[in-house]
Amino acid sequence: MNSKITQEQLQGELRSVGLFIDNAKTYIQLATGALLLSVTFSKSITGQELLAVNELYLWVSWLCWLVAIIIGATYQYCAVKYLETLEEMHGSLFFRRVKPFVVLRYWSRNPYQLYAALMLFFYIGTIWFAVSAAFKLGNL
């Protein structure tokens, strides 16, 4: 990204990416809530005070939601770094910013891939949990 971008292009990217950053925050909050809800659900259907950690359906969902949370936070960082790069190209940053972490530089140029992974893991965890919970409830 060596060329200057127009003010209209910059504003369009700021609006669009800003909406995706806000949406990623919502998915992070939903995944966190799903983790907590699944613990409560598991305790209520087993009738045990202790959590049934030997249940595969819980582990798959928990891992998916945890990965979604981590990817979502990483997406937010990379999306901001992406926007900073655009601002720098436009010449609208007052101070130079620190470059993204080396391991995140690719995704700071392509944050949309992280957003797609966030949604994928969130929905896999949610669908897995819903289907598994339905089977569990059906066998009670």
- Among candidate residues 15, 131, 96, the one with its CA nearest the CA of residue 139: 131
Write down the pLDDT at residue 1.
Answer: 46
Please name the amino acid found at residue 77: Y
Q: What pTM was computed for the model?
A: 0.83
Please name the amino acid found at residue 131: V
The answer to whether residues 123 and 30 touch, using CB atoms and an 8 Å cutoff, is: no
Q: Count of CB atoms within 10 A of residue 66's CB?
A: 15
The answer to whether residues 129 and 38 touch, using CB atoms and an 8 Å cutoff, is: yes
Write down the pLDDT at residue 60.
Answer: 92
Please give the chain's pLDDT, 140 residues, in tens: 446 778 888 899 999 999 999 999 999 999 999 988 887 777 666 566 665 566 777 889 999 999 999 999 999 999 999 998 888 877 777 777 778 888 999 999 999 999 999 999 999 999 999 998 888 777 75
Tokens representing 127 are 């669908």
Strands (DSSP E) contained in the chain are none
